[in-house]
């Protein structure tokens, strides 16, 4: 694509290539749309569209908020038809033969659907065939019978909504950062991002033995602790406890979030400022905060991760 004098990309017709929002419509593709018009009204010179061409477009970018909104609610990009595979289940019941789901939907008999996120696991079904459907609910033939449950926030998606060719449903996740969160908060954050509970694994807690501090330094409000292997033990965003330092370095004691690491150092921001520099220390005083997340298996801000993907979080163990 060419550039104009301001450095903006131009499409094949010389127009600035932009995505835009028009009224309540979702983002529109930046492709040039071929079209023609014809005169339909004698001397009144009324014109109407004779034909339009739908232009194929590339996959939405789930890292962008407005694109993520389109991904969640619309299918057939760039045609923008209502997504047929993204509906919320609010109640469900089973009688040993038929499972009935309450969900506003546009499903049809014979559709194959995945149902996830319900508190009664027996009602979370994969590739279930819709037996009956109306605008307020649908049924599938299945022997599950876990009683009547209400107040749900489950999800039903067409099986085809999980393919790369279909934007319907919340098919992808932008992975949040949960390093440094408590385990409970991390689990909630991952679920809010789109992971199903069954796809999140909490690994055995990571060893959390006190590390020996051999040097400290501070420039401005940035403090740096030197300890053998500290960079791997305490990753960026993890929570650490600095303790047992004595005057004048005792001002560096406390609980902090790691902002930078090197092989043998971790850095963090202090509430006070001032220059400090002490070496040749041997102080057992650096550890992780027990119960907070040390690592996550999929890096934060990774985009277009399928909702069927798994993720493992590893918290710090109780201090030993």
Q: Give the residue range(s) of CATH 2.40.30 domains in the chain.
A: 82-170, 211-289
* pLDDT tens-place string over residues 8-65: 677 666 666 655 544 555 555 443 334 444 444 455 555 454 444 444 444 455 455 5
Q: Tell me if 38 sits within 8 A of 47, measured CB to CB.
A: yes
* pLDDT tens-place string over residues 192-222: 777 878 889 999 999 999 999 999 999 999 9
* pLDDT tens-place string over residues 82-130: 444 567 888 999 999 999 999 888 788 998 888 988 989 999 999 999 9
For residue 142, pLDDT beyond 80: yes
**Mean of the per-residue pLDDT values for the chain?**
80
Greater confidence, 181 or 157? 181
For residues 181-217, one letter each, b for 16 or more C-beta atoms within 10 angstroms of the residue's C-beta and e for the rest, the string is bbbeebbebbeebbbbeebbeeeebeebebbebbbbb
DSSP class of 54: P
Which class is domain 211-289? mainly beta
Q: What is the CATH number assigned to the segment(s) 82-170? A: 2.40.30
For residue 226, pLDDT beyond 70: yes
- C-alpha distances (whole Å) from 26 to each of 35, 67, 83, 241, 310 are 21, 8, 13, 47, 30
Confidence at residue 154, expressed as pLDDT on a 0 to 100 scale: 83
For residue 304, pLDDT beyond 90: no
Q: d(Cα 90, Cα 203) in Å, to the nearest integer?
A: 31
- Tell whether omega for the bond before 250 is within 30 degrees of 0, i.e. cis: no
E strand map for 103-242: 112-116, 128-134, 137-141, 149-158, 172-173, 200-202, 211-213, 215-219, 222-226, 239-242
- C-alpha distances (whole Å) from 143 to each of 96, 182, 183 are 4, 39, 35
Beta bridge pairs of residue 116: 155
Alpha carbons within 13 angstroms on the beta-carbon side of residue 43 total: 0
Q: d(Cα 243, Cα 286) in Å, to the nearest integer?
A: 6
pTM of the full structure: 0.52
* pLDDT tens-place string over residues 233-257: 999 999 999 999 999 999 999 999 9
Beta bridge pairs of residue 291: none
* pLDDT tens-place string over residues 52-77: 444 444 445 545 556 555 554 444 44
């Amino acid at each position: 694509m060419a550039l104009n004098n301001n450095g903006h990309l131009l499409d094949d017709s010389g127009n600035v290539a932009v995505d835009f929002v028009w009224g309540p419509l979702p983002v529109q593709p930046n492709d040039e749309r071929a079209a023609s018009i014809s005169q339909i009204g004698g001397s009144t010179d009324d014109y109407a569209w004779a034909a339009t061409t739908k232009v194929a477009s590339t996959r939405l970018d789930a890292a962008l908020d407005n694109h993520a909104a389109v991904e969640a609610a619309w299918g057939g990009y760039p045609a923008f038809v209502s997504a047929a595979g993204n509906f919320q289940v609010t109640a469900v019941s089973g009688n040993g033969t038929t499972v009935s789901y309450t969900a506003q939907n546009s499903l049809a008999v014979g559709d194959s659907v995945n149902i996830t996120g319900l508190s009664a696991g027996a009602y979370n079904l994969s590739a279930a065939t819709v037996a009956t459907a109306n605008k307020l609910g649908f049924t599938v033939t299945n022997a599950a019978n876990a009683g009547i449950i209400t107040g749900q926030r489950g999800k039903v998606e067409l099986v085809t909504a999980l393919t790369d060719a279909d934007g319907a449903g919340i098919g992808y996740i932008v992975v949040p950062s949960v390093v440094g969160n408590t385990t409970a908060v991390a689990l909630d954050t991952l679920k809010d991002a789109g992971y199903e509970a069954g796809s999140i694994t909490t690994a055995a807690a990571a060893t959390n033995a006190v590390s020996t501090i051999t040097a400290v330094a501070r420039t401005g409000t940035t403090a740096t602790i030197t300890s053998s292997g500290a960079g791997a033990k305490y990753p960026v965003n993890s929570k650490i406890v600095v303790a047992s330092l004595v005057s004048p370095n005792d001002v560096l004691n406390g609980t902090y979030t790691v902002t930078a690491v090197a092989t043998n150092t971790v850095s963090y921001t202090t509430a006070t400022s001032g220059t400090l520099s002490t070496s040749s220390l041997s102080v057992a005083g650096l550890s992780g905060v027990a119960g907070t997340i040390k690592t996550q298996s999929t890096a934060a801000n990774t985009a277009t991760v399928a909702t069927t993907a798994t993720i493992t979080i590893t918290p710090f163990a109780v201090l030993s």
